[in-house]
Structure 1
Amino acid sequence: MILRFGYVSTALSLWEASPSRTLTFTNWKKLNEEQRKEKLYFATEQNLKNTLRALHYNIAHGISVYRMSSSLVPLATHPEVKWDYLTPFSGLFKKIGELVADSKLRVSFHPNQFTLFTSPKAHITENAIIDMRYHYSMLKAMGLHKEATMNLHVGGAYGDKDAAVSRFHQNFIKLDPEIRQQTTLENDDKTYTAKETLRVCEHHSIPFVFDYHHHWANPGKEAFEELLPRIFATWEGTKKRPKFHLSSPKSENEYRAHAEYVDIDFALPFIKALKSYGESADIMIEAKGKDKAALTFVEQLSKVRGYKRIDGATIEL
């Protein structure tokens, strides 16, 4: 049994390596056409090059799981900007995809919290579709659109959870089928529990990304160990390892916020449950410490009896 660990977007160990340089719409409006193009091109190029830097860093440090930044292209989905970000950077997108494929890395996106399919407002759903198409277009430019996934939360409840879930069912199928096929859902820390999210995944035959920290904050009535067979079952037929999220609370008062590193004592019950289940999985570390947190956690876990480190961010049980 193998557990691979990864991190989110920015390799903090690298100097000036943010893949999320941006340009606000307010500042964009102040510029002339030539300046707008220059600023957008510069930020996008830096973001894509820093993504490549992070990928090379991951390969060098044995990190096989990585979430790319959703902010690779500034103002990509803004209705008043609408610029062609694919053609001028086709070479960089392709280079990222080839590196990922050649090195057998697992990459994903996590569109922001405003990408919702439960809202009663039609324009919110329309914007969510636009945002998912943006993410998918980048994966397609990378040649990863049949492998990489885009992870979402179910969304808000708007005072009536049953009605909101019904809207999700109606709105989600408005997405192009090939985009739905690359979508996963995750339980959240306030509204939709693991069991509720799992039901939605099963309804649409899409994989479920279980978040242990979110379950701890918003557990519902079920122990997550009881849900593991159904969670793993959602990944059957995808040819991908089941994927999980792991972080630990920042403090007793800020228990929903992510800590800088993952507390080993907090995480061990989850890891041991996976061990008991006995199937390999990938785990995204969502701590603020990014790559440092992932590698530190793997180092700590490797010191526990029965856990052998076989690569920078990989444990064999």
Structure 2
Amino acid sequence: MIVRFGFVAMSMQLTNASPSKTMTFKSFSGLADREAGLRRLERIAGENLHNTLRLLRHCAAHGIGVYRFSSKLIPLLTHEELRDWSPWPALSEPFADIGAFVKEKGMRVSFHPDHFCVFSTPRPEVLVSSKRDMEYHVRMLEAMGLDERAKCNIHIGGAYGDKAAAGERFVRQLGGLPDQFRSRITLENDDKTFTARETLEAAEAAQTPMVLDIHHHAVNGGGETEASLLGDLWPRIVRTWEREAELRRIRPQAGQETGAGTANKVSVGQDARPAAVMAALADAAEDSAAGQAPLPPKLHASSPKSAGDPRGHADYVETGPLVRFLRETAGSVPALDCMLEAKLKDEALFKLMDDMRALEAAGEGIRVVDGGTIEVR
């Protein structure tokens, strides 16, 4: 089984390379010239996109094929007071450059919208806000010209006093989204509320691929045994990714929308998607149709910060538990992608690869393929 590792957003090695530079709304609203303020926001977004491309080049130079974008690439875009602002034309070139590089290098990229994106909510206004946040993330992927293989990973959300009802509401409200959104979503088990089994049941009902977080499962396992995780849940998780490829083959081409919720679309930015974006999406759809193999299942891995804070993320990833899981699943799929959610980002990935080289040298059934990839034998 081939395993590619990736990291989240920031690099501990590159200097002045933040993809998340921002401006507070208080600072923006204090500016005398609103139009000048909007141009300043676009310049900040341009810097974030420039740094994102630097980070992707950094990944490629080290053989890292999996990367998660920062959700803060365009500051303040989803703010209520900036509904009339459309930065997309000004940022079309740097977005396109990022997408072209991702496709050239065959990288797997994603977003992870934060806790404001909650589709289990019982509150209509929160649902509207969640749709707006999802559209923001999807539009960025579209601006990059990336097809549905580039995903937005989310959690189910809160239980609101009735977990079963919240799970059912999540499936129903997710199902009410346009295909443009639903086709981009993956679902991950969380560390407090919805267990891996409960998340998988929702993913199956929503026909959405599931990302297994093994750290979250360790602290919110719901009494699941290792045997049931590996023998029952994992094969079903793999099947959600196989089903994703099947659905991708039969969906309409880029730019078309079907399904419930299309009439209730919430727009982020004033203009419709630019013609250049639509052309890039059409090209991406052709690329996707040419190779419809399932995406490798995706795993999230991190280690507890401490015994007193088991849910917190440590600086590095403990090799033992991760390798043990990879060995147990090695015969189930030919390939797997693993996002490391360690505090020290790429430095943690490099440390993990050093550990893998040590295992390879010791004859422990690990072969290091490149700077971010191993084969588990």
**Which TM bucket (shorter chain)?**
over 0.9
Task: State how far apart, in whole Å, the 1-side matches of 2:333 and 2:172 are.
Answer: 36
Task: State how far apart, in whole Å, the 2-side matches of 1:290 and 1:39 are.
Answer: 29
- Residue deviations 1:65-108 (CA, integer Å, cap 9, x gap): 00001110001111111221211010001000000001101000
Per-residue deviation, 1:5:
0.2
Within the alignment, does 1:62 sit opposite 2:63 as a pair? yes
Letter in 2 for 1:73: I
Task: State how far apart, in whole Å, the 2-side matches of 1:206 and 1:34 are.
Answer: 41
2:5–2:66 CA contact under 8 A, matched in 1? yes
Task: State how far apart, in whole Å, the 1-side matches of 2:165 and 2:8 are.
Answer: 33
Indicate the SS of the match to 2:241.
coil
Taking structure 2 as the reference length, the TM-score comes to: 0.82
CA-based RMSD: 1.2
Structure 2 residues not aligned, in runs of 5+: 246-293
Indicate the SS of the match to 2:312.
coil
- Residue deviations 1:176-228 (CA, integer Å, cap 9, x gap): 11210110000000000000000011001110000000000100122321311
- Residue deviations 1:25-76 (CA, integer Å, cap 9, x gap): 1111111214412320221011000000001111100000000011100011
2:116–2:133 CA contact under 8 A, matched in 1? no
Task: State how far apart, in whole Å, the 1-side matches of 2:134 and 2:77 are.
Answer: 12
1:248–1:267 CA contact under 8 A, matched in 2? no
Taking structure 1 as the reference length, the TM-score comes to: 0.97
Within the alignment, does 1:125 sit opposite 2:127 as a pair? yes
Per-residue deviation, 1:295:
1.9
1:189–1:256 CA contact under 8 A, matched in 2? yes
Indicate the SS of the match to 1:295.
helix
**Structure 1 residues 316 and 268: alpha-carbon distance in aligned structure 2, compared to 1, 3 A threshold:** closer
Task: State how far apart, in whole Å, the 1-side matches of 2:148 and 2:333 are.
Answer: 27
- Residue deviations 1:263-292 (CA, integer Å, cap 9, x gap): 113323222222253531000000001011
Give 1 or 2: higher helix fraction: 2
Letter in 2 for 1:160: D
Runs of 4+ in 1 over 4 A off after TM superposition: none
Count residues in correspondence. Answer: 317
1:136–1:145 CA contact under 8 A, matched in 2? no
Counterpart of 1:215 (choices 199, 214, 217) is 217
Structure 1 residues not aligned, in runs of 5+: none
| Aligned twin of 1:264 | 319
Aligned residues with identical type, % of pairs? 44
| Aligned twin of 1:288 | 343
Per-residue deviation, 1:145:
3.4
Letter in 1 for 2:316: Y
Matches within 5 A, 1:200-279: 200-222=202-224, 223=226, 224-226=229-231, 227-237=233-243, 238=245, 239-279=294-334
Task: State how far apart, in whole Å, the 2-side matches of 1:156 and 1:148 are.
Answer: 25
- Residue deviations 1:89-147 (CA, integer Å, cap 9, x gap): 10001000000001101000000012001111111110110011111111111111322
2:92–2:143 CA contact under 8 A, matched in 1? yes
| Aligned twin of 2:249 | none
Letter in 1 for 2:116: F
Structure 1, 297-306 or 45-54: larger mean CA deviation? 297-306
Task: State how far apart, in whole Å, the 1-side matches of 2:120 and 2:182 are.
Answer: 15
- Residue deviations 1:214-259 (CA, integer Å, cap 9, x gap): 0001001223213111111110042211100000000001110100
Task: State how far apart, in whole Å, the 2-side matches of 1:301 and 1:219 are.
Answer: 27
Indicate the SS of the match to 1:236.
helix
Task: State how far apart, in whole Å, the 2-side matches of 1:117 and 1:146 are.
Answer: 20
